[in-house]
Structure 1
Amino acid sequence: MSVEHTPPSTYILRDIQDVAVPDSVSWLPQTIGWKVLGVALFMALAYATYRYACYRWHNRYRQEALDVLGQLDPSDKSSAKRVFEVLKSVLRYLNARNASVHGQRALATLDGYLPKKTSTIFQDTASKIWIDSLINPSIYLTFEQRVEIIEKATTWVKVHQYRGSENPQETPRA
């Protein structure tokens, strides 16, 4: 936008010369190098956004599982069974062959998905009592044990890693 200047109209300012207005400077880069750099930065940003969207899409099951685990009430006696159902759903999502694991094998499978540097979290007596309580209805978990199981399950969902050759979503369902 250029404003057209008019000479001063007052008697005192009549002999003053008008200053030449310089041309406006364009905000667009003048050389091709800046345009190439801009395109490269845009492509890098688009790729990073795509990778982040893929990461979030492939890990949406974690957030769904964490939401369900967060809604569980440890004072409810059926919360231990619900924790197992959530963990079993995650295991089936990761690999359809995990649908048949139960008991001690389920605990070993859960620990198998933990990172190498993480110690096993389901190989203690509370976890064994938890699995036994799912099989045998005469075994009851205390409130503290249910709280511990929910905390362990939440930790597992947050830190487990998928170490398979195929994407979890492409695993055929039986």
Structure 2
Amino acid sequence: MNRALRIIFSRYGIIVIILLLVLGAIALATQREQTPLGGNNSGADNPTGDTSSEGFTEDDGLATENCEGDDCYPEEELPQEAVDRSVEFAEAWLNPNGHAASGWYDSIAPFLTTEAAEQMQGVDPISVPAKEITGESVPEGLKVGIPMDTGTLTLTMTEGSNNWTESGWLVSAIDWEQS
């Protein structure tokens, strides 16, 4: 027993143990690559034994045939009401009345989804990086870009309701790109 332990814990014994562990890991990784995603390699569900990717090629209703690039997905267009609502939010976001944090939050909260409003709680209006809107809003899909004096405010619009608004277009995400 003592001799066996001395061989195992010698330099050569440790090298052999590490080599066996590495080869075992490689064998397991190779076996994992050969196993289908479902993990069932028994062939019971598929008597022919060939694997199929039917579940991954079903039509999801979004892509079109011979589709390349961004043209593969239907483009939703916002109604003018949503664009107008985004501009109203941007005007309140700029804090033209000089409200303190709580007053500013109260002025923008009716334009926000409940989740976005929760994220804006405690934000200081002094952190708003712009002073004025400098151009026309540009709707693109469900987003509206609003050019400002120091960058572009991009608002993601969604239809819904919150604690202040029964139903209508609300801002679900706010993104700022410095110019």
Shared fold (TM-score greater than 0.5)? no
- Please identify which structure carries the higher strand content: 2
Give me the TM-score of the superposition, normalised by structure 2. 0.23
- Please identify which structure carries the higher helix content: 1
Q: Which has the larger radius of gyration?
A: 1
Give me the TM-score of the superposition, normalised by structure 1. 0.23
Could you say which structure has the greater relative contact order, defined with CA pairs below 8 angstroms and 6 or more residues apart? 1
